[in-house]
A and B are shown apart, each in its own frame.
Chain A
């Protein structure tokens, strides 16, 4: 928040007290549109104005140690990001790919030499405020805004320790955060033509109309094995009209189908977007935010659940209750939130489907 703001707010409060004794909010005297909007109270601005800029404007007081950060990390962050911020299971890794040399130069060398298979957060981020701001406003992923400023300092400290930017016994605070030197602090440029509509582009095409490229070479095509990777393209195009979709569940056809389209997929009178069933329910009820078919995300995979409860009597009832009221402890410390919004019927459908391995 800006100092100017605070002054204005004080004036605003004074105006409130004078003009609106009964706690109705005052109109601004400068308004061109009378009766529209009202003054924001200091408490309201404080509640929402949580952003932190690279110059640390807006940063609240507080502190947190690497040690404390690790404890919070393991409870709330490691399930998505890995114990050492290395996980690529759900989001791209946070730590890795930076060196001591990078800390000196402020340029992450692996961004140029391309020796890293993937760009991690610490390789890219140039301003430590970015980490603080985002963790405080939006983490953990499934419970945003649940961290205190001290928690956030601790988590940023822990992440910085993962990149060996601070030592393991470091305590990060609003007092010393400006001293942190990020490995890629000099790695961002705004000298390009894409920040303002009037700026100059970095490339341009050619207006050539005839005999422009005497030798046309195809440099890249979709490999045969990927033909059906996006499922049947015939089902993603109109079933009528001149531009049908190719049936990618089969090899390419040998000859033109003819004007009638005979031999191509036929129109069906079903609305595929209205498809029902447990897999649709699973997605729409957000179960897929935490559970995947075969990989562990925040929660166990469908395959693992099916395996664990295979052949157990009473598993359906047991799991139905668990889905309804939530639970923790079976698959680790991350709790499963209660899914009270589901009808008993939907809940049973989902549980049966999970127990069948999602088939």
Chain B
């Protein structure tokens, strides 16, 4: 391994002192004496124009110190902005690249579309509310909370109506869970299709949700849990999104939620009320929730009989395939990213399981031939994202990075080949395969599939 030079860290040039053309030229053709000459000239003229107080720009470049330290910066020498200039804060302008994005060409109409969370730039386990992925079936609205109602009917002794005022008086819980669309990574069933982790895995978010446990609400209405094994959850949007909830599986941890990460739900995530069904694919987390009906049979609604079904090689469709299997992905570095130099890196990613807790994550840097166990960061919560980190010193040679998660049922995240052997390649949903990122000698990371 080559030792990274310290000098490069000190020579922080003023921005924009060379032209975009020269940057492109250097990127394409590398540095030679001619181009170094241009750089020197540009550097001198840039510094000469900045301040007469800088007496020895060349000496600085030669190692006297970093301009970021030696020079007084604007934010140290002038008055900053007032408090509450941004009364509901927004991220730094330097974070403007990390936003939800649509995948070009994925859908024809934006009202029935998806915008992906930029996992490549996130830290820890919590998704900021403004970056929580969006998926709507008929557009979103700012639903008025004063006129929003939740009805509970069907096999209940007391069909009831609740206002938001009613619901928010009830005993509440706050729990952190991941939500993943059943189609997350679905584009990659057949082959590599998209460049970055935002598009491969970005229909995934994790938040602390606050609301009343479903069980409390159904008991209050006198639900018949002996005969009523299922529940229909219905949304208040134009699509009237309806999903059958398997009460046997979901009754104990499902939440009728109004808050996300300490604030009310955002409109695009179901304000003022949504269902939270931990471990189950996102489509069942019905947004703008307006009705719960207890019943004795599944409903076979549009998104249970036409979409969110898995096509098996024998022509069968798997219906009500809801649980999100144990899965993980390395987010830094990940597809489309560019490493600057050799040396030490903290390689980091996310792991989650719809069946419980993550117990281990292994990472491979050689395409799955050899594995090392990563550090799991706390908290490790059930049906929630767990952050993993692992130390790595890059020697500059090509690498294929993979992560492999294990949950407390003993299930081990499989390679794509194992999944395809059972489910073929024409499925869209529930792809929880091991992700591979290829790192080239130029530092660029790309999306590849191994095997």
Among candidates A203, A230, A243, A286, residue contacting B422 with C-beta atoms closer than 8 Å: A203
Cβ-neighbour of A243 out of B220, B240, B297, B339 (below 8 A): B339
Residues of A contacting B306 with CB < 8 Å? 121, 124-125, 130
Report chain B residues within 8 Å CB of A208.
371
A48: interface (CB < 8 Å): yes
Check: A161 CB closer than 8 A to any chain B CB: no
Q: Is the CB of B297 within 8 A of A216?
A: no
B373 CB, nearest partner CB in chain A, Å: 8
> Is A21 among interface residues, defined by CB-CB distance under 8 A?
no
Chain B 434-451 near chain A by CB (<8 Å), digits 1 or 0? 101010111111111111
Contacts A114-B426, A195-B249, A218-B438; is A51 near B301 (CB within 8 Å)? yes
- Are the C-beta atoms of A273 and B99 separated by less than 8 Å? yes
Q: Is B232 an interface residue (CB 8 A)?
A: yes
Residue of B138, B193, B332, B337 with highest tally of chain A CB at under 10 A: B337
Taking a contact as CB atoms closer than 8 A, the residue among A129, A201, A216, A261 that contacts B367 in the complex is A216
Q: A45-B159, A198-B249 are in contact. Are A125 and B111 (CB under 8 A)?
A: no
Known: A4-B155, A259-B340. A252 touches B315 (CB 8 A): no
Q: Are B368 and A236 in contact (CB under 8 A)?
A: no
Q: Are B323 and A194 in contact (CB under 8 A)?
A: yes
Residue of B nearest to A195 (CB): B320
Q: Nearest Cβ in chain B — how far from A81, in angstroms?
A: 12
Evaluate contact between B293 and A49: CB separation under 8 angstroms.
yes
A287 to B321, CA, bound (A): 35
Question: Does B302 sit within 8 A of A, measured CB to CB?
Answer: yes
Query: CB distance B370 to A212 under 8 Å?
Result: yes
Query: Chain A's nearest CB lies how many Å from the CB of B226?
Result: 13
Mask of B401-414 contacts with A, CB within 8 angstroms, 1/0? 00010100001111
- For A231, the closest partner residue in chain B by CB is B104
CA distance A269 to B159 in the complex (A): 55
The answer to the question of B333 belonging to the interface, with a C-beta cut-off of 8 Å to chain A, is: yes
The listed residue (B94, B199, B221, B305) touching A127 by CB distance below 8 A is: B305
CB atoms of A37 and B166 under 8 A apart: yes
Binds B, one of A70-78, A133-141, A307-315, A328-336: A133-141
Cα distance, A130 to B354, chains bound together (Å)? 27
Name the residue on A nearest B426 (C-beta): A114
The reply to whether the CB of B158 lies closer than 8 angstroms to some CB of chain A is: yes
Enumerate chain B residues within 8 angstroms of A258, measured Cβ to Cβ. Answer: 8, 340-341
- Report B-chain residues with C-beta under 8 Å of the C-beta of A230: 101, 103-104, 194-196, 199, 336
Q: How does the 8 Å CB contact mask read for B127-155 relative to A, with 1 for contact and 0 for none? A: 00000000001110000000000011111
Q: Considering only CB atoms, which chain A residue lies closest to B313 in the complex?
A: A112
B110 touches A288 (CB 8 A): yes
B240 and A259 contacting across the interface, CB-CB below 8 Å: no
The answer on a CB contact under 8 Å between B15 and A266 is yes
**Main SS class of interface, A:** loop
Contact A248 B300 (CB under 8 A): no
Is A272 an interface residue when CB atoms closer than 8 A count as contact?
Answer: yes
* Cβ contacts under 8 Å, A184 to chain B: 317
Contacts A195-B322, A212-B369, A250-B28 hold; do A238 and B336 have CB atoms under 8 A apart? no
Interface residue? B393 (CB, 8 A): no
Residues of B within 8 A of A207 (CB): 406, 412
Contacts of A245 in B (CB 8 A): 97, 336-338
Interface string of A194-216 (1 = CB under 8 A from B): 11111101111111111111101
1/0 per position for A1-17, CB-CB distance to B under 8 A?
11011001100100000
Complex formed: what's the CA distance from A211 to B370 in Å? Answer: 6
- Name which residue of chain A comes closest to B302, CB basis: A134
**Bound CA–CA A255/B278 (angstroms):** 45
Q: Are B98 and A199 in touch, CB under 8 angstroms?
A: no
Task: With both chains docked as a complex, state the minimum distance between the C-beta of A112 and any C-beta of chain B, in angstroms.
Answer: 3
CB contact between A273 and one of B96, B139, B311, B345 (< 8 Å): that residue: B96
A-B residue pair count with CB separations less than 8 angstroms: 433
CA distance A238 to B354 in the complex (A): 30
A:226-284 near B, CB below 8 Å: 226-227, 229-231, 233-240, 242-248, 250-264, 266-267, 269-274, 283
Interface string of B247-266 (1 = CB under 8 A from A): 01100000000000000000
Residue B239 is within 8 A (CB to CB) of chain A in the complex = yes
Residues of A within 8 Å of B11, CB to CB, are 260
Partner of A233, one of B195, B222, B299: B195
**Nearest Cβ distance between residue A202 and chain B, in whole angstroms?**
5
Contact status B95-A238, CB under 8 Å: yes
CB-CB nearest in chain A for B443:
A256
Query: Which residues of A have CB within 8 Å of B302?
Result: 130, 133-134, 138
Comparing A27-35, A149-157, A342-350, the segment that makes contact with chain B is A27-35
B319 an interface residue at 8 Å Cβ cutoff?
yes
In the complex the two chains form, is B297's CB within 8 Å of A289's CB?
no
- Does B300 lie within 8 Å of A220, measured CB to CB? no
- The answer to whether A221 and B323 touch across the interface, beta carbons within 8 angstroms, is no
Question: Cα distance A31–B444 when bound, in Å?
Answer: 62
Residues on the B chain within 8 Å of A126, using CB: 300, 305, 317, 319
What class of interface size applies to chain B in its complex with A? 35 or more
Task: Give the distance in Å from the alpha carbon of A229 to the alpha carbon of B187 in the complex.
Answer: 15
Residues in A with CB closer than 8 Å to B272 are none
The distance from the CB of A21 to the nearest CB of chain B, in whole angstroms, is 20
Contact A222 B447 (CB under 8 A): yes
> Shortest Cβ distance from B450 into chain A, in angstroms?
6
Name the contact of B161 in the complex, choosing from A37, A196, A242, A257 (C-beta under 8 A): A37
B57 within 8 A of A: no
CB-nearest residue of chain B to A216: B367
Complex formed: what's the CA distance from A227 to B196 in Å? 11
Indicate whether B55 reaches chain A with its CB closer than 8 angstroms: no
B169 touches A36 (CB 8 A): yes
- Asked if A259 contacts B5 (CB within 8 A), the reply is yes
Does A160 interact with chain B (Cβ within 8 Å)? no
A326 located at the interface, meaning its Cβ lies under 8 Å from any Cβ of chain B in the complex: no
Bound-state Cα–Cα, A208 to B369, Å: 9
User: Which chain B residues border A111 with CB–CB below 8 Å?
Assistant: 311, 315, 317
With an 8 A cutoff between CB atoms, is A177 at the interface?
no
Contacts of A202 in B (CB 8 A): 422-423
State the CA gap A133–B404 with chains docked (Å).
Answer: 41
Q: How distant is the Cα of A260 from the Cα of B6 in the complex, in angstroms?
A: 10
Interface positions of A from 87 to 144, Cβ below 8 Å from B:
89-91, 107-109, 111-112, 114, 119, 121, 124-127, 129-130, 133-134, 137-138, 141, 144
Once the chains are docked, how many angstroms separate the CA of A190 from the CA of B300? 12
Residue of A nearest to B396 (CB): A256
A133: B residues at CB distance < 8 A: 242, 299, 301-302
Residues of A within 8 A of B325 (CB): 194, 201
Q: Do residues A243 and B111 form an inter-chain contact, with CB atoms below 8 A?
A: no
A288-B109, A289-B109 known; A194-B430 Cβ under 8 A: yes
Query: Which residues of chain B from 290 to 328 have any CB-CB distance to chain A below 8 Å in the complex?
Result: 290-291, 293, 295, 297-302, 304-306, 309-323, 325
How many Å lie between the Cα of A271 and that of B28 in the bound state?
Answer: 29
Give 12 A-B contacts (CB < 8 Å), ordered by A residue: A8-B159, A30-B222, A50-B240, A129-B300, A130-B302, A184-B317, A219-B451, A255-B30, A256-B341, A256-B442, A272-B99, A288-B109
Excluding A91-B108, A272-B96, 5 further A-B contacts by CB distance (< 8 Å) are A36-B167, A188-B318, A218-B448, A255-B442, A273-B99
Identify the 8 closest CB pairs spanning chains A and B, nearest first.
Answer: A112-B315, A216-B367, A205-B412, A233-B336, A194-B321, A134-B302, A205-B414, A111-B315
